[in-house]
Amino acid sequence: MSDEQRRQDRVPLAGPDIQEILSDPDYPKKLRELFDDLHPYDVFSLIEDLPPEDIAKIISALGKKGIEVFEYFPDEEKKDIFYCFSRKKMVELLEEMAPDDRVDFVKKLPEDLVEDILPLLAQAERNDIKRLLQYEEGTAGAIMTTEYATIPPDITVDKALEYLRRVAPDRETIYYVYVTDRDRKLLGLVTLRDLIVARRTAKIEDIMHRDLIVVRVDDPVEEVAKKVRDYDFLAIPVVDHENRLVGIVTVDDVIDVIEEEDTEDMFAYGASGVVHNYTEESVWNIARKRITWLLVLVFVQFISGAVLQMHSAELQAMIALAFFLPVLSGMGGNAGSQSSTTIIRGLATGEIEEADMWRIFYKELRVGLLVGSILGIIGFARAMFIQQDVRLGLTVFLSMVATVTAATTAGAMLPIFFKKIGLDPALMSGPFIASVVDIVSILIYFEIARIIIMGF
C-alpha cells in the first residue's frame, strides 16, 4: 500500500479524542502539533460536530490556521462559535478573515453586537467592512474580495516580482496582478506566469494585457459566474462606474455561486423550499417550507375539481370519461415538465434568451403537436379497446393533442414570462405548471366531450 493510499484510508481522529486533548492544560500546543500537517478543510471536517465552545477553543489555539478553519463553517454555526469567543478574540478574528467572507458574516450578526465590536477594529478593516456592506446581496460587489495585488504600469518586471514577494501572504491571489493608475483606474493585467516568462528589465506596461473583461459592482453574480466560466479565468476584476478597481472575484467563489444557484433552481423547480442542511433541519422546519407552496397549489387544484363538477352531467352520462382523466392530466404535467426544465436550464446557463420567446413558442407548438398526436393515437386505441366507442376515442385523441400542446407551450412560456417581469424563472415550479395545465386539460376534455359525445 502506498503512502498516499494510507493517507486516504486513515481513520480520522474521533471527537472524544479531541475532547480529551482539550482537557489537558497544554492543549493549544498539542492541537497545533496534531493539526500541523492538515489542510484547514480537513481540520474543519474533524471538528465540525463538536460543541461550539470546544470549536472556539480549537480555533483560538490554532492561530491563523484557526481562522481559515472557521471560514469553512456555515454561517449559522459560525455565529454559535463566535459567541463563545472573548471580545478581543472576536476583533482579532474579524480583522484576519478574508474580506468577502467577513462581510457576509457581519451581515448575519445582530446589529448591537456589530455596533459594539466595529469601533474596536483597525481603521482599514472597519472601512473595508463598511464599503462592502453597501453592496446588495446577489451582486458582484457582495461576493468580491478586496485582497488583490495591484502595481503601477511604469515599474519593471523585477520590481513587480519583488513587490509580490512582500505582499503575497495578504493577498487572496497573486497569480493575477492588476495594473492601476494613481486614481485606481484599471489599466491592465499581468499574470504571474507573464512575469516569470518576461525579461526582468521589461516594463509592466509593455507586457500587460489591456483589453480586459471586467464586471461591475452591481452586476448580478450569474453574470460574474458566466464570464469566469466562459473565459476560464482564475479571477475577474470588479470595477465601479468610474472604472476604478474595487475588488476581484476568485474562481473558488464562482464555483460556490454556481453550486448555490443550481441548488436554488432545483429546489425552486421542485417547489420544495431551499433546504441547505436536510440532515440537521427539523421535521417541523422542512414541513413549514413545503406547506407554503402546497397551500397555494391545493387551491389551484380545487379549480380542477370545480371544473369537473360543472361537467357532472357529461360524467354521469358516460362514466368512462373519468377513466381518461388521470392519463390526460398526467401527460399534460409531464409534457409541461419537459419543456419547462429545458427552458429554465437554458435561461440559467445563458443558452436561451428572452428575446427568443416567439421562436421558442413556435418550436414548442410544433413539438407539442407532434408528440401530442402520437400519444393521442395511443389514447384513441385504448378508448376503442375499453368502450368500443369512436366518439370517446375521438374525444380522447383531440384532448390529448390539445392538452400536450398547451402544456409544452405554457411550460416554456411561463418561465420566460417570469424572467421578463424580473423574477427568477426557476420560481415557475414544475408542480405549479402541472396544476395550471391540469385545469386547462379538464376544461378542454369536457368541452370536446360535450361537442362530440353529447352534441351529436
Can you tell me which of 14, 122, 124, 287 binds a copy of itself, judged by CB under 8 A? 287
* Binding-site string for a copy of itself from residue 296 to residue 335, where x marks contact by CB under 8 A and - marks none: -xx--xx-xxx-xx--x--xx--xx-xxxxxx-xxx-xxx
Contact 408, 367 (CB under 8 A): yes
Q: How many helices (H) and strands (E) does the chain have?
A: 24, 6
Q: Contact region for a copy of itself (CB under 8 A) — 12-20, 56-64, 267-275, 447-455? A: 267-275
> Residue 210, interface with a copy of itself (CB under 8 A)?
yes
Q: Report 389-448 residues binding a copy of itself (CB under 8 A).
A: 429-431, 434-435, 438, 442
Residue 182 sits at φ, ψ, to 5 deg, of -65, -25
DSSP3 helix / strand / coil % (the chain, rounded to 5): 70, 10, 25
Given 24, 41, 76, 354, the residue binding a copy of itself (CB under 8 A): 41
Among 22-30, 104-112, 151-159, 266-274, which window interacts with a copy of itself (CB under 8 A)? 266-274
The type of residue at 361 is F
Judge whether 107 and 129 are in contact, CB under 8 Å. Answer: no
Q: What letter would DSSP give residue 145?
A: B
Indicate whether 375 belongs to the interface with a copy of itself (CB under 8 A). yes
Which residue of 87, 130, 366, 420 would you call a contact of a copy of itself, by CB under 8 A? 366
- Exactly one of 54, 92, 96, 262 binds a copy of itself (CB under 8 A); which one? 262
Look at residue 162 and give its three-state secondary structure.
helix
Q: Which of 11, 283, 355, 421 binds a copy of itself (CB under 8 A)?
A: 283
Task: Closer to a copy of itself by CB, 91 or 367: give it.
Answer: 367
Our finding on whether 239 is near a copy of itself (CB under 8 A) is yes
Other C-beta atoms closer than 10 Å to the C-beta of 357 total 16
Q: Any contact of residue 251 with a copy of itself (CB under 8 A)?
A: yes
Position 76 contacts a copy of itself (CB under 8 A): no
Q: Which three cell numbers stand for residue 311?
A: 361537467
* Nearest to a copy of itself of 378, 427 (CB atom): 378
- Near a copy of itself by CB under 8 A, which window of 57-65, 112-120, 129-137, 186-194? 186-194
Q: Which residues partner with 250 through β-bridges?
A: 235
As measured in angstroms, the least distance from the Cβ of 102 to a copy of itself is: 16
Amino acid at 262: D
Burial degree of 80 (CB within 10 A; 0-12, 13-18, 19+):
middle
Question: Which window, 4-12, 19-27, 85-93, 106-114, contacts a copy of itself (CB under 8 A)?
Answer: 4-12
Closest-CA residue to 121 (of 104, 134, 103, 108)? 103
| Contact status: 454 vs a copy of itself (CB under 8 A) | no
Three cell numbers written together for 452: 362530440
Closest CA to 356 of 338, 375, 372, 342: 342
Cβ distance 157 to 202 under 8 Å? yes
Kindly report the length of the chain.
456
Distance of CA 425 to the CA centre of its chain: 13
Give residue for cell 424563472. Answer: 425
Of 53-61, 79-87, 125-133, 205-213: span binding a copy of itself (CB under 8 A): 205-213
Q: Kindly state the DSSP code that residue 74 receives in the 8-state scheme.
A: -
- Tell the smallest beta-carbon distance from residue 429 to a copy of itself (Å): 8
Shortest Å distance, C-beta 440 to a copy of itself: 12
Pick from 253, 294, 273: which is nearest to 140 by CA?
253
Rounded to a whole number of angstroms, the minimum distance from the CB of residue 262 to a copy of itself is 4
Told to check if 150 binds a copy of itself by CB under 8 A, we report no
By C-alpha distance, which of 180, 188, 176 is closest to 248? Answer: 176
Q: Which residue, 116 or 252, has its beta carbon nearer to a copy of itself?
A: 252
Binding residue for a copy of itself (CB under 8 A) from 256, 390, 420, 423? 256
- Count of residues in contact with a copy of itself, rule CB under 8 A: 128
